[in-house]
Amino acid sequence: MTAHPSDELLDRALVRALQDGLPRVRQPYHAVAERLGIAPDIVFARLRAMLAAGAIRRIGVVPNHYRLGWIANGMSVWDVDDALVDALGKEVGALECVSHCYRRPRRLPLWPYNLFAMVHGRARTEVEEKVAEIALVLGGAARAHDVLYSTRILKKTGLRFGG
Amino acid sequence: MDDIDRLIIGTLQGGFPLCDRPFAAAAAECGIAEDELIARVDRLLADGTLTRFGPLFDAEKLGGAFTLAAMQVPAADFERVAAQVNALPEVAHNYERAHPLNMWFVVATETPEAIAPVIGRIERATGLAVFAFPKEREFFVELKLPA
């Protein structure tokens, strides 16, 4: 079921208004409503609908994890039995310090890995400990793995949504 | 950053209320006053401790598309290829990684159909193969680290 066209327009306006974040005032949602020239109730209703639909993952803060001391990150990649990868991927994703856990296609012969789990730590040794935890979860279902550390950020721009 | 900042980050990572006076509600949870929370969130954003405050959108649910992609770039050509890849506005992130596949980037477009032409443009511009790794299944995308 598609949203009512006017809801779609409202949602696009809200995404544009909120992609740089919420205003830091006592009534931030009212401030957004005022900026868009709509009633606060409509802002609340559309944000609730977008949360329910998953178009908004959550409302909250995103810390700069380097600032918090989480300076090591490794992309761990695993060649996991196709019959088991979906069940095990969920378990790996549930581990603390694993973000962005995905199943992706292999590119044989260069790339045999089908499970990607980004691991964060305060030091590379901590990343290695987490990778060992993942290895325990995967057990014999993982035939091979590797950890790719980033050596340089070449580009990092926020994702922008157009009009 | 003090203990109250850490408590705020921990509390707000989990969620910011959707109500008339959300700062008041969240401040009560942290045991501080509404205006103090506003001032601290402002400061944590200004000094770069927080990179974002507000709704976190899922670009795919909004109609957009992403893919992770990688290239095997000869060392001698690395800087040239990095400049060519980074020049495309559709390339959101690009990392050098220690692996034969040494350049890893994210292509983000407003529609799923736009991904393949962008990858084609990168291959023509650089003369190198691009290996696309579109996600087939997402198990978890959420990073909540203790502050």
Question: At A161, is the pLDDT very low, low, confident or very high (cuts 50, 70, 90)?
Answer: low
Hunting for tokens 């989480």 — which residue is that? A70
- Which residues, 6+ apart, have CB-to-CB distance to A19 below 8 Å? A160, A161, B57
DSSP string, chain A: -PPPHHHHHHHHHHHHHHTT----SSSHHHHHHHHHTS-HHHHHHHHHHHHHHTSEEEEEEEE-TTTTT--EEEEEEEEE-TTTHHHHHHHHHTSTTEEEEEE---BTTTB---EEEEEEESSHHHHHHHHHHHHHHHGGGEEEEEEEEEEEEEEE-------
pLDDT of residue B39: 98
Of residues A6, A13, A10, A8, the one with CA closest to residue A162: A13
Q: pLDDT higher for A162 or A59?
A: A59
A99 to chain B, minimum CA–CA distance in Å? 5
pLDDT of residue B51: 86
Tell me whether A83 touches chain B (CB under 8 Å): no
Percent of chain A with pLDDT over 90: 67
Q: Which chain B residue is nearest to residue A52, measuring alpha carbons? A: B61
Of A56, A62, A103, the CB nearest to B50: A62
Of B34, B49, B86, the CB nearest to A64: B49
pLDDT of residue A19: 84
Mean pLDDT of chain A: 90
pLDDT of residue A162: 47
What residues of chain A lie within 8 A of the CB of B58, using their CB? 54-57
**What is the per-residue burial (b if ≥16 Cβ within 10 Å, else e) of B35-59?**
eebbebbeebbeeebbbbbbbebbb
Are A149 and B134 in contact (CB < 8 Å)? Answer: no
Range scoring the smallest mean pLDDT among A119-123, A136-140, B4-8, B27-31: A119-123
Range scoring the smallest mean pLDDT among A36-45, A150-159, B39-48, B102-111: A150-159
**Cα(A56)–Cα(A38) distance, integer angstroms:** 20
pTM over 0.80, yes/no: no
Indicate whether B92 pLDDT > 90.
no
Question: At A163, is the pLDDT very low, low, confident or very high (cuts 50, 70, 90)?
Answer: very low
Question: At A159, is the pLDDT very low, low, confident or very high (cuts 50, 70, 90)?
Answer: low
Q: Residues B16-37: pLDDT tens digits? A: 999 999 999 999 999 999 999 9
A142 to chain B, minimum CA–CA distance in Å? 17
Question: At A1, is the pLDDT very low, low, confident or very high (cuts 50, 70, 90)?
Answer: very low
Per the rule left: phi > 0, alpha: psi between -120 and 50, beta: everything else, A157 is beta
Of B49, B93, B145, the CB nearest to A155: B93
**Taking residues B84-94, what's their average pLDDT?**
93
Which residues 102-131 of A are in CB contact (within 8 Å) with B?
102-105, 107, 110-111, 116, 120
pLDDT of residue B142: 61
pLDDT of residue B126: 98
A44 to chain B, minimum CA–CA distance in Å? 7
Reported ipTM exceeds the 0.85 cut: no
Question: At B145, is the pLDDT very low, low, confident or very high (cuts 50, 70, 90)?
Answer: low
**Cα(B122)–Cα(B114) distance, integer angstroms:** 13
Q: Residues A57-97: pLDDT tens digits? A: 899 998 887 788 888 889 999 999 999 999 999 999 988 87
* Cβ atoms of residues B115 and B109 within 8 Å: yes
Mean pLDDT of chain B: 92
Which residues 33-62 of A are in CB contact (within 8 Å) with B?
40, 44, 47-48, 50-51, 53-62
**What is the per-residue burial (b if ≥16 Cβ within 10 Å, else e) of A118-157?**
bbbbeeeebbeebbeebeebbeebbeebbbbebeeebbee
